[in-house]
């Protein structure tokens, strides 16, 4: 079989590419997804996120190698294995990143990825529930809605911030990210708004798109240093499928570098050690792995206003029944609706701490620390200096790669997390929480000293599931760059990478929105289109950042 473009991975960027590349009916496109279709209730119900996150039929369920700075704990690293990728199993929080993140990208020799250049693509993505303006889109493919949850705990979280002297922000994806408010979410009419539903499903009606599910790509085929096709296992049969124009890799931060290395693109000595013929030496493949870590600061509640009342089998059945009948009720929310981005201290230019607030005290594995009503803030630093890597275990494509994040490998990580805990305790001590805050469950009020907090962090910190950076985009003069500013793999022809793996530096917040933006912008590069006209809006920085933390 021959197609003009082969897209490997139907995730947040891959589905966007499939849509945009097939808008011209002269382009014949195939997209390959190792997982299954995702039009199931476990995906569509926002509150059911834990089901697919822990289901091996829909998730790779990776784990890191033992992390040396965290008592050799192996941290969970879920990656979507279904149409829609991580957009079909994430927390549905829509955060673009801070505008200043993209100025940092531009400083790495990526002028076309500055905030002024990417803002038009973010606007192109969305139809925002609050209406179009100079920062927000009103005619995009993806519905993006501002949360309106009326749970009093969400209001208490925002009100407490105002009492503590923080800014209240009505749009964290607008001019300013800094402050407390309600998140934007990819939830529409009570259902998850994934890229598979809004980008891929309309494109599937076009005759020039072929979607392959349960199609595991094992290798990219090269003629010399030109990518010409793929070897893919479909229904237990390995087939060779060829690209007339380009092969585009959109497998994500773990699978994209893995497939490049399996195909002979990567650090030459590592490939030789695994018995893989080297097509091109690129030392940066698999390096520069970044993620966000977070802690749960958990409180017991005086009042029965949390989600705990639904935690029994009868309660869960009621939530499910109501959602199935009317797409309403608790099941129609991700429950991560109240949020904040703040600066950790004076002298920090723009926010470096993120909050997700949840009206229940629960872990990602679904376990409750104590019985009874409670609530929690997920809090973590945004710009850790720690870097990890992805490498191969063997030349077998089915064998999971080795993932080593090197979490907490810098002393600044420990300082930042201790600060996160203390700032959160200050928020929960404000008058707005007095009717609700009964006692601190975790860490516990007895945990106060730096050493005690370090022990708590070491034992309890978890990934926020935002891996990125392993096929770094950069200037060709940088020996660690993997793709150039137009997403072309350096040193070979007809091969691109477009997903979160190309982020040179992690952005503030959740990564689904920036990954969609990469898909939108990369499609223009691939098609040779003029880029969208740059915006005149510039990143905002707090005028007193030198001297004030809030």
The catalytic residue positions are 466
| Alpha carbon separation from 358 to 93, 189, 309 (Å, rounded) | 13, 21, 14
- Written as six digits, the tokens of 504 are 């040179």
Contact criterion met (CB below 8 Å) for 336 and 93: yes
The rounded distance, in Å, linking the Cα atoms of 483 and 252 is 14
Residues contacting 251, CB < 8 A, separation 6+: 8, 9, 11, 258, 259, 499, 501
The rounded distance, in Å, linking the Cα atoms of 536 and 465 is 33
The rounded distance, in Å, linking the Cα atoms of 413 and 418 is 9
Q: Cβ of 303: how many Cβ atoms within 10 Å?
A: 11
Instruction: Provide the strand spans (E) within 183-271.
Output: 184-185, 187-188, 191-192, 209-212, 215-223, 226-234, 237-249, 265-266
Q: Which H/E stretch holds residue 32?
A: strand 29-32
The rounded distance, in Å, linking the Cα atoms of 245 and 493 is 10
Burial environment of residue 413 by CB neighbours within 10 A (0 to 12, 13 to 18, 19 or more): buried
Contact criterion met (CB below 8 Å) for 159 and 170: no
Residue indicated by tokens 């990478």 = 497
The rounded distance, in Å, linking the Cα atoms of 176 and 189 is 27
The rounded distance, in Å, linking the Cα atoms of 546 and 225 is 50
The rounded distance, in Å, linking the Cα atoms of 141 and 143 is 7
Contact criterion met (CB below 8 Å) for 521 and 241: no
The rounded distance, in Å, linking the Cα atoms of 237 and 33 is 15
Annotate 86-119 with b (16+ C-beta within 10 A) or e (fewer).
bbbbbbbbbbbbbbbbbbbbbebbbeebbbbbbb
- Written as six digits, the tokens of 498 are 């477009």
Nearest to 11 by CA among 77, 87, 79: 87
Annotate 204-235 with b (16+ C-beta within 10 A) or e (fewer).
eeeebbbbbbbbbbebbbbeeeebbbbbbbee
Q: CB-hemisphere CA count at 13 Å for 461? A: 28
Instruction: Provide the strand spans (E) within 360-400.
Output: 374-381, 389-391
Q: Which H/E stretch holds residue 128?
A: strand 126-128
**What's the DSSP call for residue 471?**
T
- Written as six digits, the tokens of 372 are 């009874």
């Amino acid at each position: 079989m021959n197609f003009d473009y082969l897209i490997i991975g139907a995730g947040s960027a891959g589905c966007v590419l499939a849509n945009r590349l097939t808008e011209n009916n002269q382009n014949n496109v195939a997209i390959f997804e190792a997982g299954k279709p995702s039009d199931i209730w476990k995906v569509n119900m926002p509150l059911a996120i834990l089901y697919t996150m822990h289901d091996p039929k829909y998730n790779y369920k990776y784990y890191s190698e033992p992390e040396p700075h965290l008592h050799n704990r192996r941290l969970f690293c879920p990656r979507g294995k279904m149409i829609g990728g991580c957009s079909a199993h994430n927390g549905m929080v829509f955060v673009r990143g801070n505008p200043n993140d993209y100025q940092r990208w531009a400083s790495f020799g990526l002028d076309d990825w500055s905030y002024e250049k990417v803002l038009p693509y973010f606007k192109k993505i969305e139809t925002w529930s609050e209406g179009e303006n100079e920062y927000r889109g009103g005619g995009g493919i993806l519905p993006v809605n501002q949360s309106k949850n009326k749970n009093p705990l969400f209001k208490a979280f925002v009100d407490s911030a105002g009492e503590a002297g923080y800014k209240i922000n009505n749009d964290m994806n607008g001019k300013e990210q800094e402050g407390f408010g309600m998140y934007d979410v990819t939830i529409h009419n009570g259902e998850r708004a994934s890229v598979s539903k809004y980008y891929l499903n309309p494109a599937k009606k076009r005759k020039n798109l072929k979607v392959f599910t349960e199609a595991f790509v094992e290798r990219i085929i090269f003629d010399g240093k030109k990518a010409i096709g793929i070897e893919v296992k479909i229904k237990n049969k390995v087939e060779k499928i060829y690209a007339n124009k380009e092969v585009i890799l959109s497998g994500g931060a773990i699978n994209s570098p893995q497939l490049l290395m399996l195909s002979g693109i990567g650090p030459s000595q590592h490939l030789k050690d695994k018995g893989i013929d080297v097509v091109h030496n690129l030392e940066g493949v698999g390096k520069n792995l970044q993620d966000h870590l977070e802690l749960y600061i958990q409180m017991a509640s005086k009042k029965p206003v949390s989600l705990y009342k639904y935690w029994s089998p009868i309660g869960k059945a009621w939530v499910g029944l109501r959602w199935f009948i009317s797409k309403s009720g608790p099941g129609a929310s991700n429950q991560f609706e109240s949020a904040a981005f703040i600066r950790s201290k004076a002298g920090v230019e723009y926010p470096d701490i993120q909050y997700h607030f949840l009206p229940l005290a629960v872990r990602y594995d679904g376990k409750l620390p104590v019985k009874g009503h409670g609530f929690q803030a997920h809090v973590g630093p945004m710009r850790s200096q720690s870097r990890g890597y992805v490498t191969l275990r063997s030349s077998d494509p089915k064998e999971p790669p080795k993932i080593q994040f090197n979490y907490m490998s810098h002393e600044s990580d420990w300082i930042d997390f201790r600060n996160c805990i203390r700032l959160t305790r200050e928020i929960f001590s404000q008058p707005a929480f007095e009717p609700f805050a009964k006692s601190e469950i975790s860490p516990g009020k007895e945990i106060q000293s730096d050493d005690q907090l370090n022990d708590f962090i070491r034992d309890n910190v978890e990934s926020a599931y935002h891996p990125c950076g392993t096929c770094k985009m950069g200037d060709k003069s940088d020996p660690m760059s993997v793709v150039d500013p137009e997403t072309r793999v350096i040193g070979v022809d007809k091969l691109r990478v477009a997903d979160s793996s190309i982020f040179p530096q992690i952005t503030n917040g959740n990564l689904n929105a920036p990954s969609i933006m990469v898909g939108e912008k990369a499609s223009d590069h691939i098609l040779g289109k003029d880029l969208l006209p740059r915006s005149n809006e510039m990143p905002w920085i707090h005028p007193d950042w030198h001297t004030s933390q809030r």
